[in-house]
Structure 1
Amino acid sequence: MSKVVLITGGSSGIGKSIGEYLVERAFKVYGTSRNPEKYPDSKFPILQLDVKTIETIQETIKAIVEKEGRIDVLINNAGAGITGAIEELPEAEIKANFDTNFFGPINVIKAVLPQMRKQHSGLIINITSIAGYMGLPYRGIYSASKGALELITEAFRMELKDFNIKMTNIAPGDFATNIAAGRYHAPLLESSPYKKPYGDTLDLMNTHVDSGSNPIMMAQAVLKVINTKNPKVHYKVGAFMQKFSIVLKRILPDKVYEKMLMKHYKL
């Protein structure tokens, strides 16, 4: 029996790559988008879902279960970037980012759990970020929202152990996707005390994305996790130095690691 996979944010970028990769391997894949009509040529169905709107989450999961009878794998991939000096970020944008990157995945998980408990099986993969392991300058809110999702997964895993429902995180580094286009950028204000360091950091971030790894690496990692009987708590996928930066954070004194980050960002 083909496993039924639901991927939030499956219309582009990493989500699209994962979906196409799994379809080619005989999985039944459903992706989601806030505007599915924009993707008529998708290789798998794209359903309407906004992770910030509980009604759309419930309706989409209900539709999949009515058609397929089950949901075997949920991949919480929908997310949003945000950049800017924390002092200058509007509170509404900060809350909106957490609504998408943290509360949204939790709401999707809550909606799918009753069905997975009924099946007495299921796998939930939360796509987080290597940025979630450290507070990055001018990406602090993004780091915080992804880091929060990493931690909530640790708690969820223990709460779900009696129901044969597995959960894990996959944290990507920089990948060549269109994420920068959908990111909220605090404007570069001429009068801002952060104008030069923020502008320089923004250019560096965009360069990293443009020269990032092929998203197929994430798809391969997802398939490996799906085929793993007992997934680990955390996985990291990306360039060696990006993954190694997490190791350095664990072993270096805080101030030494902070200086290393500041040198990298030329601050």
Structure 2
Amino acid sequence: MLTHRQLRYFVEIVDAGSFSQAAERLFIAQSALSRQVREMEQALQVPLLARDARGLEMTAAGRSLYADARQILAALGDAMARATHAQRGTEGTLQLLHSSSVPLVPALLALLDRHTQQHPGVAIEIAQASSEQQALDIDEGRADLGLARAPILRRRAALHYRPLYEEALVLALPAGHALAGQARVHVAALRGERFVATPHPERGGLGHAVAELCRAHGFAPQPAAVRSRKWAQLALVQGGMGIAIVPASMGALAPAGVRVLPLADPGSSSGVLALWRQEAPPLVQRFAADLQSACAPI
């Protein structure tokens, strides 16, 4: 098997036109260079170079090897450069997850645009996953960083859980609902209402936060006949299937026919966390730092 060094030596000999000039360029003895070529010819069982009156000539096998060697050396050089850039955090692909209850608000979109402008070698792939699933995927290496809705119940020791921002929870209800004319609504007034968002105390994220908020006001949220844990819950509210408590950023994107009202009770808020591995590569660490800076004023 030929080595990277042998291929580099062979290309240098051909480019220089002689063993002596190649030896000077490579800062090695000419005899050592000749020995490397002999070993290559023995390994391939074909002659690669021949001397005649005109100087050094490649055989047919030598011409074939020279073309391939240049491609191999170029590819190896590119691979080494990419590996270096990836280690320095200047090149690579970042897998970003976000909960359906964490919409990509203008500040986050501006961050994504700014980050890719400043680091043109970095690509960002975005997908949705629940808060608990994000933690699992990042811990097991299927994703790099997550935007999760607090709380996350199953903490993993290898991950960072950094608060990004807190936002108010709001009530989304059909425009024709009896409460739609109120300026604000107390959570206790929602006793007996049907929730399309399937709050669940045993599952983290927004569902857990809503369930705990309702329990703090003396009742368990009742599920609607048609319900969803995803973005579709606002469409269900629009269709008159029930109500939902959602973050203000999500309520701001509600479709026509949905009335969004503030909640009157103190503590009606929900936080967003950034998740990433403690031993994440620099590419991820840099984005996480930019993310925390960008989200500070949200």
TM-score normalised by structure 1 residue count: 0.28
Higher relative helix content: 1
Larger Rg: 2
Which structure's relative contact order is higher, taking Cα pairs within 8 Å and 6+ residues apart?
2
Higher relative strand content: 2
TM-score normalised by structure 2 residue count: 0.26
